[in-house]
Amino acid sequence: MSDTIRCEYCRRPIKLRPVKKALRGKEHIFCSEFCFRLHFYNVPTISYDDLQKMYAFYCVSVPAQDYHQTLSGLMGEED
């Protein structure tokens, strides 16, 4: 088992100085003030797998030649 300190919100290892906050008498450790605020306002966390699924909808693979033709058409250039 490793002794790496992890953020209580995002679960990433903390490399720099951690943000320590006391809530209801218990000390909590976060990697940033941003993660503390997300935790404080009870924003749900998202897993890496869910992020991959979400971005798969936004990313479209287009071959370079098709991309060039599309841009040429938008710019009004003829091949």
Task: Map residue 77 onto helix, strand or coil.
Answer: coil
**What is the model's pTM?**
0.56
Instruction: Sketch the domain layout of the chain as residue ranges.
Output: 19-75
pLDDT given at position 59: 63
| Tokens found for residue 53 | 């699924």
79 residues of the chain, pLDDT tens digit each: 467 899 999 888 898 899 999 999 999 999 999 889 989 999 888 777 877 777 776 666 667 777 777 778 777 765 5
